[in-house]
Amino acid sequence: MCGRFTIKTDEEGLKKRFQVDFGFTTYHPVFNAAPGMNLPVFMAGTHKSVQLYKWGLIPSWTKDANIGFKTINARAETLLEKPSFRNLIARKRCAIPADQYYEWKKEGKVKIPYAIGLKNRNPFVMAGLYDSWKNPEGTVINSFTIITTQSNELTASVHERMPVILNEQEFSFWMEPEVRPSDIMELLHPYPSEEMHLFRVSTLINNVANQQAEVAEPLAETK
């Protein structure tokens, strides 16, 4: 799964890396992104624009907004089966920028947090889906989920799942507004192990209230 990540690259860095323009003026790097937060996403079909959406997908048809805490991730293998996701893959795709994501490995009775990212330290994008839900008062909440797949050889040492990370070519294709779902599904595979690294981080990451840069720093380089 993917339940926490960091997007520490600032607005200018994201603009340069992904050629995007921000549709809002309140963006600040987030060192401990967690479900329920409003976070930057790139929208398919309008990927020159970045929007702030809530992490935890709330389907347009639901009556209970709390479902969002159960839909922070969507398994690639069952996307076309789940009611919350199967109607979104064709028209409501997004990509979520990140610098690294976090998983916890159980060692004895303790869970050790690890950060996982690209060896070149560049920011990357994770494949996602979004939807819009209107509450009884008429307020629209836009939200997203991160698609996950089986871990690669490196990340499997920490967790059996990982987010779908898109390379530059895949990102461009993912953002096209008119593509067949069958073609899109072929992109949902593990990212190459040889292009990634992981390292231990402080248990400060365990508490979402900790938003200082220190939570994203390595304790020791691992792989």
Catalytic residue numbers, as ranges: 2, 103
How many degrees, rounded to 5, is the angle at CA 75 between CA 74 and CA 79? 80
Residue 73: which of 48, 47, 101, 99 has the closest Cα? 101
Helix (H) or strand (E) holding 69: none
Give the Cα separation of 185 and 212 in Å (integer): 37
- What is d(CA 41, CA 37) in angstroms, rounded to the nearest whole number? 12
Asked if 215 and 204 touch (Cβ cutoff 8 Å), the reply is yes
**SS3 state at 197:** strand
Query: Which candidate, 31, 44, 40, 37, places its Cα nearest to that of 11?
Result: 40
Structure token digits, residue 113: 């947090």
Q: Pick from 35, 45, 36, 39: which is nearest to 14 by CA?
A: 39
DSSP for residue 175: T
